[in-house]
Amino acid sequence: MSARPLLKGRPISLGLLDYGLFRVHDGPRTIGICGYLIQTDAGEAVLVDLGFPPAYAADPEAASKADALTTFGTVLTCTAENTPAAQLAKAGLTEADIDLLVLTHSHIDHIGDLAFAPEAPLILSAAERALPRPLYWGDRQPLDWPDRETLALERDTDLAAGLRVLMAPGHTPGQIALLLELPQTGSVLLTSDAISRPSEIFATDRERQTAARLLQIAEKKGAVILYGHDPAQWPSLRKVPDLYL
């Protein structure tokens, strides 16, 4: 793809989207399921991740059992209020306002409804898109990749001035992170599941290498780090309609 950024503006706000709560049996620990809304000074909107599939908002217990997610943990909160549409509404937006949809990776708590915001190009890594099907959960891959405009990135890429996608493989083959610059907050690193929490034990060399690279970038930029699923950080984070500016 062209080196020219896809967006015209620069980021002016970051909204954290609350897609619900999940208790991981191992620990146990309670984690937030999050997405992000990034808005630019050109009136553009970038949606990052989609939370759980729609069936979870309708009946999380039944959906969890059907997917055997109950072997890993328990969905504590996932209602209609924790869907992308409802979370965007808190920021005064609808899916028609989304200019880019970014998928950090294809696990069940991030992939949601891949038909959401169909007019927006889907951005993900080439390594993730090369998988035969989205990873979803365990040995279950019930979803197909959507028939929609897709930009599969092979390297670190600027989506806008001040908004950069970072390749962060390890958690999944095509995991990505995002680095953005905000007018007041400054640099913010969204690690997604490349670093779920500071105390995470990285099981593979690739995960350790990725984490080290991201932390080095964050240190160099003096960035605020928002981790993927940090139970200690989650309660203190602003959620839409409150924004990081």
Cα separation, 188 vs 237, whole angstroms:
13
Task: State residue 199's pLDDT score.
Answer: 79
Q: Pairing mode, if any, of strands 224-227 and 150-153?
A: unpaired
Could you give the 3-state DSSP secondary structure of residue 186? strand
Task: State residue 51's pLDDT score.
Answer: 98
Task: State residue 125's pLDDT score.
Answer: 98
Going by the DSSP 8-state scheme, the letter that residue 13 receives in this structure is E
Cα separation, 239 vs 155, whole angstroms:
30
Task: Place 3 in a pLDDT band, splitting at 50, 70 and 90.
Answer: low
Question: What are the Cα distances from residue 175, in Å, to 36, 67, 106, 203?
Answer: 16, 22, 8, 15
Q: Mind listing the pLDDT tens digit for each residue in 123-150?
A: 999 999 999 999 999 999 999 999 999 9
Task: Place 1 in a pLDDT band, splitting at 50, 70 and 90.
Answer: very low
Q: Pairing mode, if any, of strands 122-125 and 29-40?
A: unpaired
Q: Which domains does the chain have, with CATH numbers?
A: 11-236 (3.60.15.10)
Cα separation, 184 vs 100, whole angstroms:
23
pTM of the model: 0.96
